[in-house]
């Protein structure tokens, strides 16, 4: 993939989002730091409720953090002006194409809307709309005047992708973009996204709970648990040599063809804890088969683990005499 002179398209630093709910504080994000590089396909994985979508929405300014910062190409996103610049450079594709599109608007109006919001000259609208539709595999002359109810689920998601593309962004955040589609259509939409990534040199974030999908599509993976990132690294390293017990449990449960696999690992037990009542110490320790005495007292930070820049937030990493999780 082509790498630009800019070292990061976006960064989040110590990002936290808390909600008040029934006199309790729900920690949706708790001190998340992450880098998204130009031309990179980054996977955000974890169970439902771990904070993946909240992180994406906060990166785009759709949620207001209580602390931490969001940076676009090294510049802090702090006000309406910088958020407008962010929306031109990074767009989001949501999970449900049935709710994404306005049922009262034709395809042309839907795809044109971002251009109007961003004040793009009207004379450029037709050409950009037709180009975006063509790139997602929809013939403009056939689809411009259709309403969403006249489209299949796959066609609706293609329209949503076209609406994200029309501003010619540098990055797309894809929030479970195929989970609402029939299996026969999923591969087609994923092929569209990956072809666009190559032809436009786009940066992509794939939000998914499907490790096999992340393994096959992504350059790098960040694993989230209870609003925190617990492991990062190349997709190959994270899947084949997980360094956090939570990642190991996810890999065990997922149909991922791991090289050299076959070793017995314990399946994940128990439910994700209530985010308004996060366990003390390591948030994962009540479910962790490898916990030891300090785990219920010390909150682990991301530290170097494994090889090739892999990191994990686990007290076992760096513990004298402790073997790698994949050993």
pLDDT digits (tens, 9 = 90+) for 80-118: 888 888 999 999 999 888 888 999 999 999 999 999 999
Do 47 and 196 sit in the same domain of this protein?
yes
Do 190 and 252 sit in the same domain of this protein?
no
Residue 236 lies in a domain: no
Average pLDDT over residues 314-320: 76
Do 188 and 266 sit in the same domain of this protein?
no
Q: Is residue 115 within 8 Å of residue 128, measured between CB atoms?
A: yes
**Strand-strand pairing, 203-208 and 171-175:** parallel
Q: Which of 188, 209, 230 is the last residue of a domain?
A: 209
**Strand-strand pairing, 10-21 and 203-208:** unpaired
Per the prediction, the chain carries an average pLDDT of 89
User: Is the per-residue pLDDT at 327 higher than 50?
Assistant: no
Instruction: Give me the residue label for tokens 């997602």.
Output: 136
Q: What is the CATH number of the domain that holds 205?
A: 3.40.50.300
Give the number of other CB atoms < 10 A from CB of residue 88: 17
Do 27 and 102 sit in the same domain of this protein?
yes
Buried b (16+ CB within 10 A) or exposed e, 251-262: bbebebebeeee
pLDDT digits (tens, 9 = 90+) for 242-269: 999 999 999 888 776 655 444 555 567 7
Burial class (CB in 10 A: 0-12, 13-18, 19+), 267: exposed
How far apart CA 320 and CA 100 sit, in angstroms, is 51
Do 307 and 188 sit in the same domain of this protein?
no
- How much is the pTM? 0.89
Residue 166 lies in a domain: yes
Q: Which of 209, 227, 261 is the last residue of a domain?
A: 209
Average pLDDT over residues 175-199: 92
Residue 229 lies in a domain: no
Do 202 and 247 sit in the same domain of this protein?
no
Do 145 and 36 sit in the same domain of this protein?
yes
Do 48 and 194 sit in the same domain of this protein?
yes
Average pLDDT over residues 177-191: 91
Domain count, the chain: 2
Residue 234 lies in a domain: no
Q: Is residue 227 within 8 Å of residue 275, measured between CB atoms?
A: yes
Residue 28 lies in a domain: yes
Burial class (CB in 10 A: 0-12, 13-18, 19+), 93: buried
Residue 224 lies in a domain: no
Do 147 and 288 sit in the same domain of this protein?
no
What proportions of the chain, in percent to the nearest 5, are helix, strand and coil?
A: 35, 20, 45
Bridge partners, 228 (sequence order)? 225
Expressed as residue numbers, the domain containing 201 is: 10-209
In sequence order, what are the residues at sequence separation of 6 or more whose Cβ sits closer than 8 angstroms to the Cβ of residue 46?
52, 209, 223, 224, 225, 250
How far apart CA 38 and CA 3 sit, in angstroms, is 6
Do 198 and 298 sit in the same domain of this protein?
no
Do 151 and 247 sit in the same domain of this protein?
no
pLDDT digits (tens, 9 = 90+) for 111-152: 999 999 999 999 999 999 999 999 999 999 999 999 999 999
What percent of the chain clears pLDDT 90, i.e. is strictly above it?
69
Do 254 and 144 sit in the same domain of this protein?
no
Query: Which of 172, 236, 271, 258 has the alpha carbon at shortest distance from 279?
Result: 271
């Amino acid at each position: 993939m082509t790498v630009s002179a800019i070292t990061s398209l976006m960064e989040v630093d110590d990002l936290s989002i808390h909600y008040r709910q029934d006199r309790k504080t729900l920690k949706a994000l708790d001190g998340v730091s992450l880098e998204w590089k130009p031309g990179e396909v980054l996977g955000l994985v974890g169970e439902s409720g771990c904070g993946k979508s909240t992180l994406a929405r906060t990166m785009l300014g759709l949620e207001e953090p209580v602390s931490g910062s969001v940076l676009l190409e090294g510049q802090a996103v702090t006000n309406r002006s910088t958020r407008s610049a962010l929306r031109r450079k990074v767009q989001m594709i949501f999970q449900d194409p049935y709710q994404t599109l306005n049922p009262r608007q034709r395809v042309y109006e839907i795809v044109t809307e971002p251009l109007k919001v961003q004040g793009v000259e009207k004379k450029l609208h037709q050409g950009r709309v037709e180009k975006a539709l063509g790139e997602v595999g929809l013939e403009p002359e056939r689809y411009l005047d259709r309403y969403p109810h006249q489209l299949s689920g796959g066609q609706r998601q293609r329209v949503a992708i076209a609406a994200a593309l029309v501003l010619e962004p540098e990055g797309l955040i894809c929030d479970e973009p195929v989970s609402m589609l029939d299996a026969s259509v999923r591969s087609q939409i994923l092929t569209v996204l990956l072809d666009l990534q190559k032809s436009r040199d786009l940066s992509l974030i794939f939000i998914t709970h499907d490790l096999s999908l992340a393994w096959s599509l992504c350059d790098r993976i960040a694993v989230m648990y209870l609003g925190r990132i617990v492991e990062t690294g190349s997709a190959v390293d994270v899947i084949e040599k997980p360094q956090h017990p939570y990642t190991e449990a996810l890999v065990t449960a997922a149909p991922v063809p791991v090289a050299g696999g076959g070793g017995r690992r314990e399946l994940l037990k128990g439910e994700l804890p209530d985010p308004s009542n996060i366990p003390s110490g390591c948030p994962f320790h009540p479910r962790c088969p490898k916990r030891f005495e300090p785990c219920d007292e010390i909150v682990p930070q991301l530290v170097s683990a494994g090889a090739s820049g892999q990191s994990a937030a686990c007290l076992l990493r760096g513990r004298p005499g402790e073997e790698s999780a994949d050993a």
